[in-house]
A and B are shown apart, each in its own frame.
Chain A
Amino acid sequence: MRRFPFLLFMVISAALAAMLLQSARDKNPASIANAPFPAITVASFDGKTSWQPEALKGRVTVINFYASWCTPCAAEMPELAALKKQFPKIHLAGIAWNDDPKTLTKWLKANGNPFHSSWLDAKGDATIDLGIKGIPETIVVDATGAIRFRLAGPLTEEVRNGEFGTLITNLLAEAKGAQ
């Protein structure tokens, strides 16, 4: 009985720690596998073309959120180029957050543009719709338009040759099988 307060304290501490761990795991609910990629509003740099959600269907799309002022994003560009080379059948889309089209055009030229299509999220609506907290972030969407993987932080060679690459190989096989 004498130890009751101490035991109570230990039980509460353990429960709180478990809750914190659980909440860290659920940090980004939008990352739940197989959630459909939302209908985002982004436009091409010249503002003439809008993102078409139908474009996601029938192919594996890798979407990278970046900005010209983001140092890790610049360091990630060669890795995205290597990804495109490794998986020529994917569609690699770049969505620039909080940036300027003129600066972006120059920056992409200087850093080697790895993207098949480039978009601008001028007001952050797409960034918020996807629950993004920081850039770079890369999202893998399967041929049915469902989010299958989210990578917060830069893509590295290690990641590309690990879980990330394996998933893309599997998704490309799935897409081929469905055709």
Chain B
Amino acid sequence: MRNRFVVLLAMAWLGTAHAAGLDQPLMNVAQEKSAHAIFRELRCVVCEGQSLAESDATLAVQMRAHVRTLVAQGKSEEEILSYFRARYGEQILLTPPMERHTALLWFAPLLLLGGGSYTVWRVTRQKKEVPS
């Protein structure tokens, strides 16, 4: 576990300068804009809570270069997100897809809000009903 932590730290910090040369924008402005939209949809897999757009970790820099290559090849945003999802799992997507097994993630806040509101309403009502 400790080794894993050391490796993740190393991946996040070491060799950043080595990978920096890879972070070159595409000449085509529209394609570069599309690439940036994809960077914001993907999570940095070696950082905590950062998107690919925000991270300077080596792997994130290399992933950005990979995204740019795929965009330049004419791949759509959906195809590129599917490519990363197939390799890193759903966790790489900052917006989880709406599917049967993720439905609860989407609706749990609403259900919890509903349950909480109902409880508050019940408690308030009970207090009102208590004879003075």
Seen from chain A, the residues whose Cβ lies within 8 Å of a Cβ on chain B are 2, 4-5, 8-9, 12, 15-16, 19, 22-23, 26-30, 67, 69-72, 98-100, 123-125, 127-131, 133-136, 153-154
Say whether, besides A5-B119, A9-B115, A124-B19, A27 and B91 are in contact (CB < 8 Å): yes
B122 at the interface (CB under 8 A from A): yes
A127 to B62, CA, bound (A): 9
Please name the 8 residue pairs, one residue from A and one from B, whose CB atoms are nearest each other, closest first.
Answer: A124-B62, A131-B87, A5-B119, A72-B3, A5-B115, A134-B7, A98-B15, A8-B115
Seen from chain B, the residues whose Cβ lies within 8 Å of a Cβ on chain A are 3-4, 6-8, 10-11, 14-15, 18-19, 22, 45-46, 58-59, 62-63, 65-66, 85-91, 101-102, 104-105, 108, 111-112, 115-116, 118-119, 122
Closest to A98 in B: B15
Among B59, B63, B86, B104, contact of A19 (Cβ-Cβ < 8 Å)? B104
Say whether, besides A23-B90, A30-B86, A128-B66, A16 and B108 are in contact (CB < 8 Å): yes
Compute the total of residue contacts between A and B using a CB distance below 8 Å. Answer: 108
Closest to A124 in B: B62
Say whether, besides A5-B116, A130-B87, A124 and B66 are in contact (CB < 8 Å): yes
